């Protein structure tokens, strides 16, 4: 094709992208939440600009070099995620960067928040470019025209390809009349540069355990075999630096939740704040033994070597930075690793505190009963997030009676919402154990509940199709329906102290049992019953338009 053709194609793409910002007629349709979708310029205001940085004054020159190199590697992970999240996001981005108009700059900024042209806060509807009006569930992992039924039939008819097609680390493409699995390290050639940067960082790492991990992680990226490096990550000790990098979470694959998405978080540990976590860390097995479901499902141990740490984020890119910003992580996700080593729970202090100040407090002031507003407490917020991450470790990793079937496989695309529900509701439930064993007092418990309720209304704003948003909708709807969360004549929210924790335990039992039994239908039924936004919640959220939905960390 001629250069002239490509020039015309480029101009057309730019025009389509900019027109979606200038003329929102196509976008101002009725989404599932029955609210008119505002123009992009208005939606951008929902993200409060925040400057996120980590204090590195305590690091020596070698350590600072490690951080710099890992940030450079992270930028490559960031670029890969653009490809995984949608087919056309990167092309629209590159086109808009060449257009110097206010409309294009506004659209580009919003596109970078979502890593593509689909807005999860408005039911994954397209806001830039042309193509599918709703984000395809295949993301960038499968052929655009494939259906779940076609994929499953093909796998059934070709069992020899099942492992590679369903692998977390392959992209599926058409090969004539067949399907073909392409390993990540071949599908994304830039992975090799990322591995080189991580390997170079290992040469500056003075901490032996960090050095070993970085060497193994570079190897893993080149081979798509992450087990050995995940084990080494759990063995990092006494390092002021930590990093999450590579294909990690499965949320982006909305077809099956099989495929993983690239991300990077470069962390500087906060030593003083981490000391406060010893109480949680020492009680992880007690939390496991106290789970509110059939005792036959309870494991002897939640895993040895669980690590809790509070960190400040020096760089975040890729999946964890797309749309709503991740405030904590419980990793690794491989149950073979967590059964052997436990998990590492990292709380992103600077991200958490920014969200609390910019979002949680204003929400509380607007919706809570007057006596609850003073109880909303920053430490209760960060402690709840910590227990959320601890709770990802609790419960089973494999279906009861079938130690080869991972729960994420059994629940398929429903897994992420159920797993986030489990972690959230157990984060609240575990406070009951802390209270009964005098680790916290009744006053702190009240602060936790008040902060939790405000936090629910923060998180349901993430969007109906986002896993965390769906999990919070289930909690909110269930607790409202059962009378645990109450509403007074002035429309302000409180809770029934007599039944609140009873109902929390009931919902926790539902989520835990679904996972233990690997019940896909149970997950479908629970989400169908409680996972949609109620008219009451829509009305409450309509009054929060002046409160940011999330933060924007773009420089």
DSSP states of 113-166: HHTSSEEGGGTTEE-SSSS-SB--TTTTTS-TT--HHHHHHHHHH-GGGHHHHS
- Contact status, residue 433 vs residue 287, Cβ threshold 8 Å: yes
Residue 304: predicted pLDDT: 73
- Contact status, residue 57 vs residue 41, Cβ threshold 8 Å: no
Burial 72-93 (b: 16+ CB within 10 A, else e): bbbebbbbbbbbbbbbbbbbbb
What are the φ/ψ torsions at residue 526 (nearest 5 degrees)?
Answer: -65, -45
Listed residue (415, 367, 386, 393) closest to 515, CA to CA:
415
Residue stretches of the chain with pLDDT short of 50: 1-34
Provide the residue ranges of all domains of the chain, joining segments of one domain with +: 191-549
Residue 506: predicted pLDDT: 98
Residue 113: predicted pLDDT: 97
Residue 511: predicted pLDDT: 97
123 Ramachandran zone, left/alpha/beta (phi>0; psi -120 to 50) = left
Residue 430: predicted pLDDT: 96
In order, the DSSP letters of 246-267 are: EEEE-TT-TTTS-S-EEEEEEE
What tokens does 456 get?
A: 């629910």
- Contact status, residue 396 vs residue 299, Cβ threshold 8 Å: yes
What tokens does 156 get?
A: 């059934």
Residue 1: predicted pLDDT: 43
Task: Mention every residue, 6+ apart, whose C-beta is less than 8 A from residue 404.
Answer: 398
Whether the link from the prior residue into 332 is cis, omega within 30° of 0, is yes
What are the φ/ψ torsions at residue 408 (nearest 5 degrees)?
Answer: -60, -30
In order, the DSSP letters of 266-315 are: EEEE-HHHHHTTHHHHHTHHHHHHT-SS-GGG--S-S-TT-EEEEEEEEE
Within a 13 Å sphere around the CA of 140, how many CA atoms are in the beta-carbon half? 20
Q: Going by CATH, does the domain composed of 191-549 fall within 1.10.260.40? A: no
How many Cβ atoms from other residues are within 10 Å of residue 555's Cβ? Answer: 5
Residue 464: predicted pLDDT: 60
CA end-to-end span of the chain: 38
pLDDT one-digit tens code per residue, 70-114: 999 999 999 999 999 999 999 999 999 999 999 999 999 999 999
313 vs 333: CA distance, rounded Å: 21
204 vs 200: CA distance, rounded Å: 7
What tokens does 129 get?
A: 């470019």
């Amino acid at each position: 094709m001629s250069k002239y053709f490509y020039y015309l194609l480029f101009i057309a793409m730019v025009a389509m992208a900019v027109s979606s910002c200038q003329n929102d007629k196509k976008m101002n349709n009725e989404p599932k939440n029955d609210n008119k979708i505002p123009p992009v310029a208005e939606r951008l205001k929902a993200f409060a600009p925040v400057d996120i940085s980590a204090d590195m004054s305590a690091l020596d020159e070698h350590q600072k070099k490690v951080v710099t190199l890992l940030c450079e590697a992270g930028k490559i992970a960031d670029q890969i995620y653009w490809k995984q999240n949608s087919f056309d996001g990167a092309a629209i981005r590159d086109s808009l960067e060449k257009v110097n108009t206010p409309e294009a700059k506004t659209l580009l900024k919003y596109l970078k928040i979502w890593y593509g042209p689909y807005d999860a806060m408005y039911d994954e509807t397209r806001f830039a470019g042309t193509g599918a009006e709703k984000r395809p569930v295949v993301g960038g992992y499968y052929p655009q025209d494939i259906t779940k039924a076609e994929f499953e039939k093909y796998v059934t008819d070709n069992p020899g390809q099942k492992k590679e097609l369903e692998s977390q680390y392959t992209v599926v493409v058409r090969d004539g009349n067949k399907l073909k699995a392409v390993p990540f390290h071949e599908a994304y050639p830039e992975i090799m540069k990322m591995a080189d940067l991580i390997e170079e960082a290992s040469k500056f790492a003075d901490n032996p355990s960090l050095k070993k991990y970085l060497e193994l992680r570079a190897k893993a990226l080149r081979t798509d075999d992450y087990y050995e490096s995940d084990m080494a990550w759990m063995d990092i000790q006494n390092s002021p630096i930590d990093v999450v990098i590579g294909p990690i979470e499965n949320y982006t694959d909305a077809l099956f939740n099989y495929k993983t998405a690239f991300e990077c978080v470069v962390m500087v540990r906060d030593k003083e704040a981490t000391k406060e976590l010893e109480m949680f860390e020492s009680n992880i097995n007690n939390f496991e033994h106290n789970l509110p479901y059939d005792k036959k499902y309870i494991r002897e141990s939640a895993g040895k070597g669980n690590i809790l740490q509070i960190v400040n984020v020096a760089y975040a890119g890729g999946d964890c930075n797309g749309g709503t910003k991740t405030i904590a992580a419980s990793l690794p996700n491989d149950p073979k690793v967590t059964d052997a080593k436990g998990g590492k729970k990292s709380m992103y202090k600077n991200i958490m505190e920014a969200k609390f100040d910019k979002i949680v407090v204003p929400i509380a002031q607007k919706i809570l009963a007057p006596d609850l507003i003073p109880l909303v407490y920053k430490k209760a917020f960060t402690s709840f997030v910590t227990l959320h991450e601890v709770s990802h470790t609790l419960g089973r990793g494999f279906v009861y009676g079938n130690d080869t079937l991972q729960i994420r496989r059994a629940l398929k695309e429903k897994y992420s919402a159920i797993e986030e529900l489990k972690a959230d509701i157990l984060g609240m439930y575990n406070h009951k154990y802390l209270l009964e064993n005098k680790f916290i007092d009744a006053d702190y418990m009240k602060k936790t509940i008040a902060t939790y309720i405000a936090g629910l209304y923060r998180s349901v704003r993430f969007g109906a199709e986002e896993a965390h948003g769906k999990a919070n909708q289930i909690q909110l709807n269930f607790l409202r329906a059962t009378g645990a969360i109450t509403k007074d004549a002035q429309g302000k929210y409180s809770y029934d102290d007599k039944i609140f924790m009873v109902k929390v335990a009931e919902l926790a039992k539902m989520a835990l049992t679904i996972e233990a039994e690997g019940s896909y239908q149970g997950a479908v039924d629970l989400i169908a019953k409680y996972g949609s936004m109620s008219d009451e919640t829509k009305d409450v959220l309509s009054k929060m338009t002046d409160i940011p939905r999330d933060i924007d960390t773009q420089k």
